[in-house]
């Protein structure tokens, strides 16, 4: 019988001393449970993913020193094996680093394993820094149990990626009793279920129990939900750690089965995870909380228009940071509806947030008369409309800059896709909370917040009003864009689905009743495709957004700006 402690922790990238301290505390807690092994996540020492910090002068020296500290600490708990993820040096031809797993005990390194499959797609870029390991398999006998080791992507060979090597098969040949997999697997919709499916299948096929340990926390646009788990060949997933929380918990491993510390079978793990809206909410709240604290912000500011995007952003910020730490500013112009201010007031009352007022009429008049005086022609049309958004963006940045609040951007995925936003205006900000939510989902998440609160947080007046930028008299989003239920379905296909081949447009269109006639569909989809492509320049300059889906704007979707591809 073996006791194994799962250390699902929220490490900070590059904070070597802080990460060592967390690991030592978890090791002590493991020892208090009389554990034999404590397992940390992939690259726990540096947190995942340090990116080009790995190339910075002195970074690897600091990693070496931090690892030496861990070794020293392990001497004080001599019975415990520590499974540690870290970047390590190598002298093979090619890159000079490996993504490594080391097992240490009593001040000694007992085993070193190098990750064989380095994900270099979507948001991952490991081949940029690491040389793949060529290990056959690494196993270690601990209290009579033969343990084998893998690192994250190593376990995903059978997932349609068609790598030349299959680390799982190599490991199976070494006949371990248990596989320990250390991971840094960011969450997005359906990811937990995908992990369960991939690792349950591998467990069944190879007849091996697997312990999967993930990190938790927000790192710029990526959020890691944790949800570490244990899987057995016959029973499937038998244990799951909490989602979006740190957890240090000890399991028993006895005769190929995972048991609770008390020796019982763990409670059944539900197949279904969180409902979609609850998932979005927790991912965004943790993403903002970690971004803010790691960047040194305790407070945030948001422009409150009385529209749904800023209302949802405000409500999520309140949940993450607390109402006393969030400030809303209403900035009416001559085109703002009465509801813009009244609805903001009600929203802020519901959320317990202070609402400040800064009308922008004077600023807009001053800028436009200055423009005329300087350039001899009036500022008009879209440029004049956008001036309002730019005046607001500047006021918000003034506030952020002088009072130290993080400015939260309110753009959703629908408008970011088609560039329905003003550069250096409402795109200003440090972090976008809802930039991976389509407009239709913005409504759904707002309703979800109200339902779970059991009261109206986001007023019905805001949820019920027709979306409008309010930059011109009577302006509505539908005057410039297809209705959101239509737009969103087309965007999902164009951005996240397969590329549509000619002839597939009908299929796309069938998603939405409104898209009926082939010719119109074709024209509309082509128009939307053109808008997405033309507006890459705005997205490149926009703040990072919290990633919720597999294909989000940001590092996982690298599109050229100055391109011509029909």
Ligand X SMILES: Nc1ncnc2c1ncn2[C@@H]1O[C@H](COP(=O)(O)OP(=O)(O)OC[C@H]2O[C@@H]([n+]3cccc(C(=O)O)c3)[C@H](O)[C@@H]2O)[C@@H](O)[C@H]1O
Ligand Y SMILES: NC(=O)CC[C@H](N)C(=O)O
Residue 90 is among the residues annotated as catalytic for this protein:
no
Kindly give, in sequence order, each residue whose CB lies less than 8 Å from that of residue 153, ignoring residues fewer than 6 positions away: 115, 117, 118, 119, 124, 126
Instruction: Give the pairing of strands 2-8 and 37-39.
Output: parallel
Element holding 449 (H helix, E strand): helix 439-453
Q: Which does 185 bind (CB under 5 to 8 A by kind): ligand X, ligand Y, ligand ATP, none?
A: ligand Y
Identify which range of 16-24, 53-61, 196-204, 418-426 contacts ligand X by CB under 6 A: 418-426
Residue 295 is among the residues annotated as catalytic for this protein:
no
Of 11 and 420, CB closest to ligand X: 420
Of 154 and 470, CB closest to ligand X: 470
Reference 209, options 270, 150, 143, 268; nearest CA is: 150
Token pair, residue 393, equals 């963006």
SS3 for 100?
strand
Per-residue binder mask for ligand ATP (CB under 6 A), 293-322, x = binder: ----------xxx-xxxx------------
Token pair, residue 6, equals 């799962």
> Does 228 interact with ligand Y (rule: CB under 6 A)?
no
485 neighbors 477 (Cβ within 8 angstroms)? no
Of 217 and 411, CB closest to ligand Y: 217
Kindly give, in sequence order, each residue whose CB lies less than 8 Å from that of residue 395, ignoring residues fewer than 6 positions away: 303, 329, 331, 358, 360, 363
| C-alpha dihedral sign at 392, 394, 399, 404 | positive
Q: Minimal distance in Å, beta carbon 221 to ligand Y?
A: 14
> Does 428 interact with ligand ATP (rule: CB under 6 A)?
no
The interface with ligand Y within residues 96-155 (CB under 6 A) comprises 119, 124, 152-153
Q: Which does 184 bind (CB under 5 to 8 A by kind): ligand Y, ligand ATP, ligand X, none?
A: ligand Y
* CA dihedral of residues 431, 317, 550, 128 (deg, nearest 10): 40
Reference 470, options 287, 341, 281; nearest CA is: 341
Q: Minimal distance in Å, beta carbon 340 to ligand Y?
A: 42
Residue 107 CA, chain-centre distance (Å), reads 36
For the chain, what is the largest distance between any 2 Cα atoms, rounded to a whole number of angstroms? 86
Of 32, 92, 382, 559, the one binding ligand X (CB under 6 A) is 382
Reference 183, options 221, 228, 128, 137; nearest CA is: 228
Q: Which does 544 bind (CB under 5 to 8 A by kind): ligand X, ligand ATP, ligand Y, none?
A: none
Residue 152 is among the residues annotated as catalytic for this protein:
yes
Of 47, 147, 318, 471, the one binding ligand X (CB under 6 A) is 471
The interface with ligand X within residues 385-404 (CB under 6 A) comprises 385-386, 389
Q: Minimal distance in Å, beta carbon 376 to ligand Y?
A: 57
Of 460 and 480, CB closest to ligand X: 480
Reference 303, options 390, 225, 234, 369; nearest CA is: 390
Closest CB to ligand ATP: residue number = 307
Identify which range of 73-81, 103-111, 169-177, 468-476 contacts ligand ATP by CB under 6 A: 468-476
Which residue in 42, 153, 319, 489 is the catalytic one?
42
Quote the CA–CA distance of 407 and 426 in Å, as a whole number. Answer: 11
> Does 8 interact with ligand Y (rule: CB under 6 A)?
no
Count Cα atoms within 13 angstroms, Cβ side, for 502: 3
Chain residues in the site for ligand X (CB under 6 A): 382, 385-386, 389, 415, 419-423, 425-426, 469, 471, 477, 480, 537, 561
Q: Residues in the site for ligand Y, rule: CB under 6 A?
A: 42, 119, 124, 152-153, 156, 184-185
Tell me which residues touch ligand ATP (CB under 6 A): 303-305, 307-310, 329-332, 336, 340, 392, 410, 426, 467-470
Which active-site residues does the annotation give? 42, 115, 152
């Amino acid at each position: 019988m073996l006791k194994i402690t799962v250390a699902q922790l929220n490490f900070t990238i590059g904070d070597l001393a802080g990460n060592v301290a967390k690991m030592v505390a978890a090791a002590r807690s493991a020892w208090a449970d009389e554990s034999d092994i404590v397992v940390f996540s992939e690259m726990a020492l540096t947190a995942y993913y340090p990116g080009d910090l790995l190339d910075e002068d002195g970074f690897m020296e600091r990693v070496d020193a931090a690892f030496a500290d861990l070794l020293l600490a392990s001497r004080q708990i001599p019975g415990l094996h520590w499974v540690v993820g870290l970047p390590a040096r190598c002298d093979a031809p090619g890159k000079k680093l490996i993504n490594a797993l080391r097992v240490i005990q009593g001040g000694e390194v007992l085993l070193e394993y190098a990750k064989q499959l380095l994900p270099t797609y979507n948001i991952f870029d490991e081949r940029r820094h690491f040389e793949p390991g060529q290990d056959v398999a690494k196993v270690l006998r601990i209290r009579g149990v033969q343990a084998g080791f893998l690192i994250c992507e190593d376990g995903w060979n059978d997932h349609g990626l068609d790598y030349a090597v299959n680390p799982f098969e190599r490991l199976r040949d070494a006949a371990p009793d248990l596989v320990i997999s250390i991971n840094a697997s960011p969450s997005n919709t359906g990811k937990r279920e995908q992990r369960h499916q991939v690792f349950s299948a591998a467990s069944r096929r190879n007849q091996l129990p697997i312990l999967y340990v993930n990190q938790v926390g927000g790192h710029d646009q990526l959020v890691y939900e944790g949800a570490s788990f244990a899987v057995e060949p016959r029973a499937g997933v038998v244990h799951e750690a909490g989602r979006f929380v740190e957890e240090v918990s000890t399991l028993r491993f006895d005769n190929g089965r995972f048991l609770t510390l008390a020796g019982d079978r763990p409670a059944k793990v539900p197949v279904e995870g969180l409902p979609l809206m609850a998932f979005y909410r927790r991912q965004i709240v943790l993403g903002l909380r970690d971004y803010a604290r790691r960047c040194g912000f305790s407070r945030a500011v948001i422009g409150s228009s009385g529209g749904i995007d800023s209302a949802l952003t405000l409500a999520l910020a309140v949940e993450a940071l607390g109402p006393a730490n969030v400030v809303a500013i209403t900035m009416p112009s001559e085109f703002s509806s009465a509801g813009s201010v009244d609805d903001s007031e009600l929203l802020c009352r519901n959320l317990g947030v202070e609402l400040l007022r800064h009308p922008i009429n004077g600023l807009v008049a001053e800028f436009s008369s200055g423009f005329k005086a300087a350039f001899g022609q009036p500022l008009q049309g879209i440029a004049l409309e956008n001036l309002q958004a730019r005046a607001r963006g500047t006021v918000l940045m003034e506030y952020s800059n002088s009072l130290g609040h993080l400015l939260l951007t309110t753009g959703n995925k629908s408008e970011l896709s088609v560039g329905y936003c003003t550069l250096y205006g409402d795109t200003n900000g440090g972090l976008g909370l809802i930039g991976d939510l389509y407009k239709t989902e913005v409504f759904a998440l707002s309703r979800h917040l109200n339902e779970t609160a059991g009261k109206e947080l986001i007023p019905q007046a805001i949820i019920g009003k027709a979306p409008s930028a309010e930059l011109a008299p009577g302006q509505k989003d539908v005057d410039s864009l297809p209705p959101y239920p239509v737009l969103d379905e087309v965007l999902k296909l164009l951005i996240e689905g397969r590329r549509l081949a000619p002839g597939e447009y009908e299929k796309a269109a069938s998603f939405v009743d409104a898209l009926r006639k082939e010719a119109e569909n074709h024209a509309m989809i082509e128009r939307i495709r053109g808008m997405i492509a033309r507006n890459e320049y705005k997205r490149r300059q926009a703040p990072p957004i919290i990633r919720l889906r597999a294909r989000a704007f940001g590092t996982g979707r690298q599109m050229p700006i100055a391109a011509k591809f029909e």
